[in-house]
Amino acid sequence: MNDVICELCPRYCLIPEGGAGDCRVRVNLGGKLCATTYGRPSAVHIDPMEKKPLYHFRPGTPILSIATAGCNLHCRNCQNWQLSQRGGEEMERIYRAMPTEVVDVAIDKHCQSIAYTYSEPIIFYEYVYETAEIAKARGLYNVFVTAAYINKAPLRKLCQVLDATNTDLKAFDDKFYRDNCSGTLKPVLDALVTFRE
């Protein structure tokens, strides 16, 4: 059997060869876990920092925002469901932008920061990490806008290249998470502790 287990989030999806995890974009290709959206954002915009919304981090500066399709939660009230609740191949528009190209665009457009946002950047983890690593080396800031449904080890690694984060805590109620987001509360609270550390 060539099944793989994705250890990125608390779902621990067991993915058969050719199949996808719950997020629809992390797939098993020949026994190897791959993110089909790597280098393939579906949303690229320049926003004001305040749209992240971060009001005390680099205020008044433009930020390059990128996102791919997919999410590991399924919130009933998702404002970006057209992006988050689809697989990468279902999007009307897919850009090609490898990590170095994303950083080049940010610099060319006079953005001091890059935001990983709109959908759920956890599911395009490798793309975020590698882009953020290059951005940091070139003097840019990295902003993570997330629902924080992630396991501790990958989050700790990611925190090494992030400068700011905005976590969307949906409720202080596990039943709400189960009924409305198809997730659980504790991993999000644990992630908030990790971010604080």
pLDDT score at 92? 54
Task: Classify residue 20: in a domain, yes or no.
Answer: no
Question: β-pairing, 43-48 with 62-67?
Answer: antiparallel
Q: What is the DSSP string of 34-99?
A: EETTTT--SEEEEEEGGGTT-SSSSTT-EEEEEE-S--S---TT-TTHHHHTS-GGG-S------H
148-188: pLDDT as tens digits: 999 999 999 999 999 999 999 999 999 999 999 999 999 99
- Indicate the number of domains in the chain: 1
Task: Classify residue 8: in a domain, yes or no.
Answer: no
Task: Classify residue 21: in a domain, yes or no.
Answer: no
Q: Report the CATH number at residue 67.
A: 3.20.20.70
What range defines the domain where residue 62 resides? Answer: 37-196
38-59: pLDDT as tens digits: 999 989 999 999 999 998 999 9
Span 26-39, average pLDDT? 93
Task: Classify residue 10: in a domain, yes or no.
Answer: no
Task: Classify residue 185: in a domain, yes or no.
Answer: yes
CB within 8 Å of 135: residues ≥ 6 apart: 102, 103, 106, 114, 141, 142, 161
Task: Classify residue 163: in a domain, yes or no.
Answer: yes
Task: Classify residue 100: in a domain, yes or no.
Answer: yes
Task: Classify residue 18: in a domain, yes or no.
Answer: no
Region of poorest pLDDT, from 16-20, 83-87, 149-153, 173-177: 83-87
State if pTM tops 0.95: no
